[in-house]
Amino acid sequence: MPLSVNPPLFIPFIVAGDPTPDVTIDLALALEEAGADILELGVPYSDPLADGPTIQRAAARALDGGMTLPKAIQLIGEMRKKGVNIPIILFTYYNPVLQLGEESFFALAQENGADGVLIPDLPFEESSPLRELGERFGLPLISLVAPTSKQRIERIASAAQGFLYCVSSLGVTGVRETLPETLGDFLREVKQHSRVPVAVGFGISTPGQVAMLKEVCDGVVVGSALVQKVEQLALRLQKPDEREAAVAEFAAYTRSLAAPLREPCSSR
Amino acid sequence: MERVPNEYGRFGDFGGKFVPETLMLPLEEIEAELDKALADESFKQEYIRILQHYSGRPTPLTFAPNLTRQVGGAKIYLKREDLNHTGAHKINNAIGQALLAKRMGKKKLIAETGAGQHGVAAATVAAHFGMDCIVFMGEEDIKRQELNVFRMKLLGAEVVPVSSGNRTLKDATNEAIRYWVAHCDDHFYMIGSVVGPHPYPKMVREFQRVIGDEAKKQFLAREGKLPNVIVACVGGGSNAIGMFYPFLQDDVRLVGVEAAGKGIDTPHHAATITKGTKGVIHGAMTYLLQDEYGQILEPYSISAGLDYPGVGPEHAYLASIGRVRYESATDDEAVAAFQLLAQTEGIIPAIESAHAVAKAVELAREMPPDETVLICLSGRGDKDVQTMMRHLGAREGEDIATVG
């Protein structure tokens, strides 16, 4: 079934296996309960070209714990068994997919209840074979547009499936204090060309930013801010007697970020 | 042989552009400008003029009589890239890319470096053209190559230590790309080898082919025929592709030499084509060292310039069609060749180049005296003297000639 979602979308990102696979499942449950509409599950990678230091560190922690692409996909299966119901998008770099085998990758993802795939280093020009394969397995390949996409926006948007991921500004993932002034215009332009919801990510870390962005797009992706929270809570999340409280703290933080999306919009 | 790369930047199955969307436009802009520049006679003339009057090209072709005698086989020639300004072939590419950056109105350069030779070349051309330069370098390489770090700083560049991964070239390259993603509007990323997304492998080849073009003319003038074998070291592979490219259509055996480190049957090597598998690294499809799950492995070599887990996609292609043979030399073999060339010819090679010397000597020994071997001596070894001292167990002040 194609990924079908209704705005406004709150899309949190966490890294599979950070700090442990068990904790990742608990965090996914907490995110759903805190109002996540879609979960982006990051597959840790040794050389993440699109990520900043926060997610790099999380990936290193997860890799040290033995996380792999097949295990990350199987973790989705575990999440489903434990009651995570929201759509889950696998966020992985291309090389691990190549090594697993593209067809095996989609088959395993489908079998474990994934709902889509996002590959940040597979630009539009290189993505057709994978997009077609994804369609066969009912798993859309989420497209990205960036502020530099310019003439490419129309082409990319016309092929977009599920939702269209807008990169907020130049740069890698990571908390940013300010977003570019031109972001609103960029998002409005993307929305003109898109038939699917337009979500914005990279650098979004405060309820204020979420409130501002919901006026101009259909959803927000919050990654590094949540991953940073996981990093802060990592020790407590791994202690049996402290885990519940730490997960609750994570959920409360998530709710505070998602809250502005649930309030009535002034100009929608 | 088909003409490569094609319009998608592919060399057969290899190459392409596997980068975050943000970089697609900057890459398209570079591609368009590069094609215009390569077709522009005035650009080519300025490039050649700077190579001649600033870098000191053409570099000599040197016959190595003592080495030849000692080896006792084919005649050994050296293409002397070590005599370039800044001490290696890297300057050819740095001048070319800086000219292109200037044409595009970019005044800020980003570079990554392993042994420091590309960093020094980038810092040098930045000073020459009045540009800013930021160089990413792994902390481990900074330790191994402190002299080159100091040179870069003297030249006015900012050297940024990279602490991720193994703290070597792979990690410096990641960081340089990440920095470029954030600053692509006003920075030009000057890649130091024939690696990275299209059009870099093609661009760097075009700026390095001057090595092979010159060598071909010089060799014909000297010997009246082409060399039987050409040998060059391969990390990313820019000196090798620069040397090989003009000979690809000729009846010449081409041999690339990778770093076997402590041995290709150990985990401590950088023999990417010999031991690697197909995958994507730093924006291109090529052979790379990786585990079964596609995580990139840390390479190892005594040479900071060769310990890169990937290789230029054109080399991957040339290996796949069998046009170039890729072999490897260990740390110990390179060290022995380093000493051999120094002591027979009075030429101290870069430890990268010493890998090529090691293999060339081995090949020459098996060849008749009327045949010839040409080595691309990609750089000089001043930067590696300390590494050699450490490797040979010499203490400060001890007479190095008595060691080893």
3-state SS of chain B? CCCCCCCCCEECCEECCCCCHHHHHHHHHHHHHHHHHHCCHHHHHHHHHHHHHHHCCCCCEEECHHHHHHHCCCEEEEEEHHHCHHHECHHHHHHHHHHHHHHCCCCEEEEEECCCHHHHHHHHHHHHHCCEEEEEEEHHHHHHCHHHHHHHHHCCCEEEEECCCCCCHHHHHHHHHHHHHHHCCCEEEECCCCCCCCCHHHHHHHHHCHHHHHHHHHHHHHHCCCCCEEEEECCCCHHHHHHHHHHCCCCCEEEEEEEEECCCCCCCCECHHHHCEEEEECCEEEEECECCCCCECCCCCCCCCCCCCCCCHHHHHHHHCCCEEEEEEEHHHHHHHHHHHHHHHCCCECHHHHHHHHHHHHHHHCCCCCCEEEEEECEECHHHHHHHHHHCCCCCCCCHHHCC
Domains and CATH numbers, chain A: 9-144+203-259 (3.20.20.70)
Last residue in a domain, options B145, B171, B200: B200
A112-145 burial string, b = 16+ CB within 10 Å, else e? bbbbbbbbbbbbbbbbeebbebbeebebbbbbbb
Give the DSSP letter of residue A12: E
Residues B82 and B117 in one domain: no
Q: What is the mean pLDDT of residues A171-194?
A: 92
With beta carbons less than 8 A apart as the criterion, state whether B65 and B58 touch. Answer: no
Has residue A124 got a pLDDT over 90?
Answer: yes
Q: Which of B17, B23, B290 sits opposite A126 (nearest CB)?
A: B17
Distance from CA of B115 to the nearest CA of A (A): 20
**Using CA atoms in the order B304, B305, B308, B313, what is the torsion angle rounded to 10 degrees?**
180
Residues B217 and B268 in one domain: yes
Residues B32 and B63 in one domain: no
Q: Does any CB of chain A come closer than 8 Å to the CB of residue B23? A: yes
Q: Does any CB of chain A come closer than 8 Å to the CB of residue B39? A: no
User: What is the distance between the alpha carbons of residues B299 and B397, in angstroms, rounded to a whole number?
Assistant: 32
Q: Which pLDDT belongs to residue B404?
A: 43
**Using CA atoms in the order A107, A105, A166, A3, what is the torsion angle rounded to 10 degrees?**
10
Determine the residue of chain A that is closest to B282 in CA distance.
Answer: A49
Determine the residue of chain B that is closest to A127 in CA distance.
Answer: B18
Residues B77 and B127 in one domain: no
Residues B67 and B165 in one domain: no
Taking only the tens place, the pLDDT of each residue in A99-114 is 999 999 999 999 999 9
- Number of domains making up chain B: 2
Determine the residue of chain A that is closest to B26 in CA distance.
Answer: A148
Last residue in a domain, options B200, B221, B254: B200
Residues B172 and B190 in one domain: yes
CATH label of the domain that carries residue B107: 3.40.50.1100
Q: Which pLDDT belongs to residue B386?
A: 87
Answer yes or no: do A149 and B25 touch at CB < 8 A: yes
Q: How many residues does chain B have?
A: 404
Taking only the tens place, the pLDDT of each residue in B135-181 is 999 999 998 888 899 999 999 999 999 998 888 899 999 999 999 99
Residues B97 and B83 in one domain: no
Q: What is the mean pLDDT of residues A237-265?
A: 94
Has residue B332 got a pLDDT over 90?
Answer: yes
Q: Which pLDDT belongs to residue A262?
A: 87
Q: Using a pLDDT cut of 70, give the percent of chain B over it.
A: 97
Distance from CA of B170 to the nearest CA of A (A): 9
Interface of B with A in 227-286 (CB under 8 A): 277-283
- Pick the range with the lowest mean pLDDT from A168-172, B210-214, B341-345: A168-172
Q: Does any CB of chain A come closer than 8 Å to the CB of residue B30? A: no
Residues B257 and B373 in one domain: yes
Q: What is the mean pLDDT of residues A188-201?
A: 95
Q: Which of B164, B185, B290 sits opposite A56 (nearest CB)?
A: B164
Q: Which pLDDT belongs to residue A39?
A: 98
Sign of CA dihedral A30, A5, A155, B185: negative
Taking the model in full, what pTM does it have?
A: 0.95
Q: How confident is the prediction for chain B on average, in pLDDT?
A: 95
Answer yes or no: do B282 and A120 touch at CB < 8 A: no
* Structural domain contains residue B3: no
Residues B256 and B147 in one domain: no
Has residue A1 got a pLDDT over 50?
Answer: no
* Structural domain contains residue B381: yes
Taking only the tens place, the pLDDT of each residue in B75-111 is 999 999 999 999 999 999 999 999 999 999 999 999 9
Answer yes or no: do A49 and B177 touch at CB < 8 A: yes
Taking only the tens place, the pLDDT of each residue in B239-264 is 999 999 999 999 999 999 999 999 99
With beta carbons less than 8 A apart as the criterion, state whether B147 and B385 touch. Answer: no
Residues B46 and B160 in one domain: yes
Answer yes or no: do A152 and B25 touch at CB < 8 A: yes
- Using pLDDT thresholds of 50, 70 and 90, give the confidence band for residue B115: confident
* Structural domain contains residue B2: no
Per CB distance under 8 Å, which residues of A are interface residues toward B? 45-52, 56, 60, 63, 68-70, 93-100, 120-126, 144-150, 152, 156, 167, 170-172
Q: Which pLDDT belongs to residue B286?
A: 98
Residues B337 and B370 in one domain: yes
* Structural domain contains residue B403: no
Last residue in a domain, options B178, B200, B222: B200
Range of the domain at B230: 58-87+209-392
- Using pLDDT thresholds of 50, 70 and 90, give the confidence band for residue A177: confident
